C-alpha cells in the first residue's frame, strides 16, 4: 500500500495535479467567463498534467538522476515554473486570437475563446470615449481609459469611468471638471464606443480641449 505521507507520494501527487492547475490558472488570467470550480476541474488538471509530463518526461528522468540541490531546483522549475510560463503564453495567444486567426485561414471556424462581447471589447480597448445609456435616464458621456475599471465578473458588469462629460442641448460634450462615475450593472442598457480624434483621450484631472473632445461614432454593443 502506498504511503500517502511519504515524500515520493507527495511528489507524485504534485506532479500529476499541479502542472495542469498552474497552466490553467495562468491561462485564465487572460480570459474570463469560462472558469470552473477547482473541484469540477480536477479531472482536467489531471489530464493536462499527464500530457505535460509525457512531453517533459526526458527532462524529469534527467533531473531524477541528479543527487545535488540542482535536481531539486530543476524539479521545482518543471512542476511549478514551466507550467506557469506555458499557461501564460497560451493565454496570451488565445487573447490575441493567434490560433483562431490561423484556423480561420484554414476555413475552420472554432468557438470564440472569450465568452462575452463585453470582455472582448473592453479587454482590447486601450482608451475610448463612451456613451452609456442607462435604463432610467439619458446617455452618460465619459472617457474609459487606464484609470477606469471594467468588471470581468459575468454576474456583475459594472463600469467605472475615470472622466465624465456634460452634454448640452446641442449635443456638444462639455468638460465637467474632475468628475468620475460608477455605473452599476443593472442600470446599463447599452454602451456606444466612440473613436477619439487624437491618439490619447483626456484622463482624470487633466484640462481638456472641448473641441478635441468631440468624437466620432464607431459602434454600439447592446448589453440587454
Q: Does domain 117-222 have CATH number 3.40.1000?
A: no
Between these two residues, 17 and 205, which has the higher pLDDT value? 17
Residue 34 has a pLDDT of 52
Q: Indicate the pTM of the whole model.
A: 0.58
**Whole-number percent of the chain with pLDDT over 90:** 13
pLDDT greater than 50 at residue 137: yes
CA distances (Å), origin 169, targets 166, 208, 209:
10, 20, 19
pLDDT greater than 60 at residue 214: no
**Domain limits, the chain:** 7-101, 117-222
pLDDT greater than 70 at residue 208: no
Residue 66 has a pLDDT of 72
Average pLDDT estimate for 102-109: 84
pLDDT greater than 60 at residue 204: no
Average pLDDT estimate for 148-172: 84
Helix axes 98-105, 82-95, angle to 10 degrees: 60
Task: Read off the pLDDT band of 37 (50, 70, 90).
Answer: low
DSSP string, 21-83: HHHHHHHHTT--S----TTTSHHHHHHHHHHHHHHTHHHHHHHHT--SHHHHHHHHIIIIIHH
Q: What is the pLDDT of residues 47-100, one digit of tens each?
A: 999 999 999 988 888 887 776 777 788 888 999 999 999 999 998 888 787 887
- 3-class secondary structure, 159: strand
Amino acid at each position: 500500500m502506498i504511503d500517502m505521507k511519504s515524500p515520493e507520494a507527495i511528489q507524485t501527487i504534485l506532479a500529476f495535479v499541479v502542472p495542469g492547475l498552474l497552466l490553467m490558472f495562468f491561462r485564465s488570467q487572460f480570459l474570463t467567463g469560462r472558469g470552473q470550480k477547482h473541484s469540477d476541474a480536477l479531472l482536467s488538471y489531471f489530464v493536462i498534467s499527464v500530457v505535460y509530463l509525457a512531453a517533459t518526461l526526458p527532462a524529469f528522468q534527467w533531473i531524477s538522476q541528479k543527487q545535488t540541490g540542482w535536481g531539486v531546483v530543476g524539479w521545482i522549475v518543471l512542476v511549478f515554473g514551466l507550467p506557469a510560463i506555458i499557461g501564460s503564453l497560451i493565454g496570451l495567444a488565445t487573447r490575441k486570437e493567434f490560433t483562431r486567426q490561423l484556423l480561420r485561414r484554414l476555413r475552420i471556424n472554432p468557438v470564440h475563446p472569450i465568452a462575452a462581447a463585453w470582455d472582448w471589447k473592453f479587454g482590447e480597448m486601450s482608451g475610448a470615449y463612451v456613451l452609456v445609456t442607462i435604463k432610467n435616464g439619458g446617455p452618460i458621456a465619459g472617457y474609459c481609459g487606464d484609470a477606469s475599471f471594467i468588471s470581468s465578473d459575468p454576474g456583475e458588469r459594472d463600469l467605472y469611468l475615470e472622466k465624465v462629460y456634460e452634454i448640452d442641448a446641442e449635443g456638444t460634450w462639455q468638460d465637467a471638471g474632475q468628475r468620475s462615475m460608477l455605473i452599476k450593472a443593472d442600470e446599463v442598457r447599452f454602451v456606444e464606443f466612440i473613436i477619439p480624434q487624437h491618439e490619447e483621450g483626456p484622463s482624470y484631472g487633466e484640462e481638456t480641449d472641448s473641441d478635441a473632445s468631440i468624437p466620432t461614432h464607431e459602434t454600439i454593443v447592446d448589453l440587454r
